[in-house]
Structure 1
Amino acid sequence: MATFQLELVSPEKLLLSRQVEMVVIPAAEGEMGVLPGHAPMIVALRGGVIRVVEGGRDAERLFVAGGFAEVTPDRVTVLADEATPVAELSKAEAERRIAEAEAGYNAATMDTPERRDAAMAKLLAMRAMLASAEAA
């Protein structure tokens, strides 16, 4: 089967760089499957799980808290705000971060719309982290 290069980069390090058959990314508009030859685009990511498909099955699952993905016909580059293998997620840590994000959102109620939106995006990402940790 045809493949393309997938690179996943977080602020700390390059987490993944290899040829894959397909990747499913949590785009802001919804789940987005990418195969070789995909039309070029840049998409915003929401908090969710990136699924790497090899041999017709999920070979790897990584939680991202947001970021961007650049898609070309022969490459996908994900620039994640934060990325963690799903197997390493902690339910307790996710619950702690949800509490922090809720406090941040409540504090932003009288702030600018942009800051409220950013606080809500963080809260939703942390809730997605908890859901991913519970499903793992």
Structure 2
Amino acid sequence: MSTFLLEIVTPERIVYTQNVRMITVEGVEGQLGILPNHIPFVTPLKIAPASIKLENGKNESVALNGGFMEVRKDKVVILAESAELPSDIDIERAKAAKERAEKRLSGKKDEADFKRAELSLKRALTRIGVHEHR
């Protein structure tokens, strides 16, 4: 089966670079599955895990904190605000962030505070999910 090069890049570093069979991500318009020779396009991404199918048939996940994905014929580049491999996730920190966000969401706050807490909760849940599914 054919593959394509997947690169996941943040402002700080290259997080992931490998030939893969498929990647599934959450775009702002819904879930996207990318296979080799996909039509080129660029799309913004939500805070969600990226599911990666490797050449050997195994699956991996990467926690993405939004960003953009550029699809080319033989390469996909994800430019993420932040991205974490399961081995890089501090699960206790993620659980603490989840609890803080849930407390902020339960209190009476203005709309900006609510939105920040909601985004923080999404990031924490994504990190926890990726860590648990490794």
Deviation, 1:76, is 0.9
The equivalent residue for 2:127 is 129
Write out per-residue CA displacement over residues 100-131 of structure 1, whole angstroms, 9 at most, x where no aligned residue.
Answer: 4446667894255xx75454233212222223
For residues 40-55 of structure 1, the aligned pairs below 5 Å read: 40-55=40-55
Q: 2-side partners of 1:108 and 1:10: how far apart?
A: 34
CA offset digits 1:38-79 (Å, max 9, x no partner)? 122222222222222223523532111221111122221101
- TM-score by length of structure 2 reads 0.77
Distance 1:20 1:135, change over 3 A: closer
Q: Which residue of 1 aligns with 2:18?
A: 18
- The verdict on how the C-alpha distance between 1:28 and 1:54 changes in structure 2, with shifts beyond 3 A counting, is same
1:109-124 aligned within 5 A: 109-111=109-111, 116-117=114-115, 119-124=117-122
Between the aligned partners of 2:131 and 2:108, the Cα distance in structure 1 is 27
DSSP-derived class of the 1:66 partner? strand
Corresponding residue for residue 90 of structure 2: 90
The CA deviation at 1:94 is 0.8
Change in 2 beyond 3 A, CA 1:103/1:44: farther
Q: Structure 1, unaligned stretches of length 5 or more?
A: none
How many pairs align?
A: 134
Paired AA for residue 19 in structure 1: N
In the alignment, the residues of structure 1 paired with residue 80 and residue 103 of structure 2 have an alpha-carbon distance, to the nearest angstrom, of 23
1:132 partner amino acid: V
Contact residue 19 and residue 54 of structure 2 kept, 8 A: no
Work out the percentage of aligned pairs sharing the same amino acid. Answer: 26
Residues 1:60 and 1:130: Cα distance change in structure 2 (over 3 Å): closer
Q: Which moved more, 1:10-19 or 1:24-33?
A: 24-33
Verify the 8 A CA contact 2:26 2:48 in the aligned structure 1: yes
Q: Which runs of 5+ in 2 are unaligned?
A: none
